[in-house]
Amino acid sequence: MSDVLLAASNLTKRFGGLAAVDDVSIDLQLGRIHAVIGPNGAGKSTLTNLLSGDLPPTRGRVMLNGADATGRNPEQLSRAGLGRSYQKTNIFLPFTVWENVRLAAQSREPHLLAWLKLANNFRSINENAERAIELAGLAQRRNAVAGTISHGEQRQLEIAMTLATAPRVLLLDEPLAGMGSAEAERMVQLLLKIKPGHAIMLVEHDMDAVFALADRLTVMVNGKVIASGTPVDIRADAGVQAAYLGETAYE
């Protein structure tokens, strides 16, 4: 499949004797959302950290856009077109929404030696930042200080910053965490909007959102993949129901 932008094969991460991620393979395709679900401690966040370069894998390989990206650091992967959002909101709290996103956009054209030109005067950076803010639905809040906006808006900002770096591959670590139902619905709409141009991995606990968004599902338990397939397959999988989905998905 030529549309596979990120392919991880046989990834393992050991912390001492514990295999937090154990022989996991996952493909992310352009225009598709691949959801990773599993109970707490299943290794979903560790997997995200392995793919984003925040942690080096003990074993296994990561291919990004056809090139070997195993063991590269977050800066290099970001420049190679990978963007991630964090489970715990990770933004610049004292800066305005605009400055958060503008700084993200600036990373694509750093202007290392422009020491005397004002940062706000670079047109293409501003346009990229503006587009990301618009897309994330934060245009009304652009001058608010990031630390003062609501939790849901901070999650939107997180996505806007990631989008401003113009990534092709997106790793979204629980973008709906802690959101009310109205906010969650807005986030689902946002993810549907950005889906066509990106290859997305979605780690999420909200099963309604997962089944509304995902084209493929991978279920992890204790660091291992116990099932992978289309939402229909996963729903029907007896092992998954026993291990994890249980009643919650069918309430």
Partner 1 sequence: MSIKTHLEILPGSLRIVLGAGFVALALFPFVATDFYAQMVARMMILGIFAMSVDLLLGVTGLVSLGHAAYFGIAGYALAFLSPQDGPVNLWWSLPAAVGASALAALVIGFFVVRTKGIYFIMVTMAFAQMVYYLFFDNKALGGSDGIYINFKPDAVAFDLGNKLAFYYFTLAMLLAVYVFLRRLLFSPFGRVLAGIRVNEHRMRALGYGTFGYKLAAFTLAGALAGLAGYLGAAQTGFVNPELMGFHMSAHAIMMVILGGMGNFAGAIVGAFTFEWLLHFFQDLPQIGSFNAGKHWQLWIGLFIVLVVTFASRGLLGVAARLVTRKDSAQGSAE
Which residues of the chain form contacts with partner 1 (CB under 8 A)?
Answer: 52, 54, 73-75, 78-79, 84, 86, 90-95, 99, 102-104, 106-108, 110-120, 122, 145, 147-148, 161, 165
What letter would DSSP give residue 96?
A: B
Positive/negative CA dihedral, 110, 114, 116, 122: negative
Question: Least distance in Å: CB of 124 to partner 1?
Answer: 12
| Residues ≥6 apart with Cβ < 8 Å to 95 | 103, 145, 146
The minimum distance between CB 204 and partner 1, in angstroms, equals 20
Around Cβ 1, how many Cβ atoms within 10 Å?
7
Least spacing, CB of residue 86 vs partner 1, in Å: 8
Place of tokens 């598709």: 32
Q: What does DSSP say about strands 67-68 and 33-37: parallel, antiparallel, or unpaired?
A: unpaired
Q: How far is CA 23 from CA 19, 42, 131, 157, 226, in A?
A: 9, 13, 39, 33, 11
12 has which bridge partners? 59
CB of 34 to partner 1, least distance (A): 20
Distance CA(120)–CA(88), nearest Å, equals: 28
Nearer to partner 1, 38 or 81 (CB): 81
CA 200 to chain centre: 7
- Smallest distance, Å, CB 136 to partner 1? 15
Our CB check for partner 1 shows the closer of 29 and 106 to be: 106
- How far apart are the C-alpha atoms of 60 and 71, rounded to whole Å? 10
Which of 1, 116 has the CB closer to partner 1? 116
Compute the least distance from the CB of residue 37 to partner 1, in Å.
23
Q: Tell me the two tokens of residue 117.
A: 């030109």
CA atoms within 13 A on the CB side of 67: 9
- In the bound state with partner 1, the residue whose beta carbon lies nearer, of 56 and 110, is 110
Q: Could you give the 3-state DSSP secondary structure of residue 174?
A: coil
Query: Residue 12 or 107: which CB sits closer to partner 1?
Result: 107
Nearer to partner 1, 38 or 57 (CB): 57
Q: Minimal distance in Å, beta carbon 120 to partner 1?
A: 8
Q: How many CB atoms lie within 10 A of CB 40?
A: 7
Nearer to partner 1, 123 or 250 (CB): 123
